[in-house]
Amino acid sequence: MSNRQHRFLTWLDRSVMWTGVPAMAAGTQRKRHLRWPPLLALLVASAGLLWCVLHPGRSYWIGYSLIMVGFFVAILMPNWGPLRRFSERADEFERQQRRDSFLVGFATVAVAAFAGIWLTVGLLAMQVWSTLVAQQELTALAFYMMALFGAVPTLHASWRTRPFNDEE
């Protein structure tokens, strides 16, 4: 193998390692504080939900698209966030952190579900929304809640503790 080929293969190896996929497959990926991506995901998804509520007509898809963007970013958060998965080995600090953060996550989802369902029922009862619109809004709410479930625990865990810098 020539030197050039060797360098190219090394570069390919490094590129693959950089993606984090091999470490993820081996279960050794680096856990890090993610303070801004989950916040961004929640902001985008919340803006989308607000849009869906305010514009339930033909431009509904704009809000729905925003929710889906937030949802897609949010479901990636557990992969790189500070929380260990339930299947991973965790010490007592990590178990407590996971418990606290998921508790906050579940509470947030519960509040969103409660508010969203009652809002839908109320607007249906007042005949502000049709059955079709209510169905669309509930679909949007379901994806919004999944975005909350993906992002809030990571957000909570990332802001609860300060990350270590290299000197520490």
Partner 1 sequence: MHNRIAVFRAEHGLSRRQLAEAVDVNPQTIGYLERGDYKPSLELALKVAGVFNVPVELIFSLTPFEAIASSLRRIGVEQ
Q: What is the size of the binding site for partner 1 (CB under 8 A)? A: 9
- Determine the Cα–Cα distance for residues 106 and 149; give it in Å rounded to an integer: 7
154's tokens: 């990571």
CB of 105 to partner 1, least distance (A): 20
Among 86, 127, 164, 167, binds partner 1 (CB under 8 A): 164
| Binders in 86-115 for partner 1, by CB under 8 A | 91-94, 96
Residues 130-149 vs partner 1: string with x where CB under 8 A? --------------------
The closest alpha carbon to 86, from 75, 95, 73, belongs to 95
- Determine the Cα–Cα distance for residues 54 and 41; give it in Å rounded to an integer: 20
Assess 162 for contact with partner 1 (CB under 8 A). yes
Backbone angles phi, psi at 127, to 5 degrees: 60, 30
The closest alpha carbon to 155, from 77, 68, 59, belongs to 77
CB of 31 to partner 1, least distance (A): 8
Binding site for partner 1 (CB under 8 A): 91-94, 96, 161-162, 164, 168
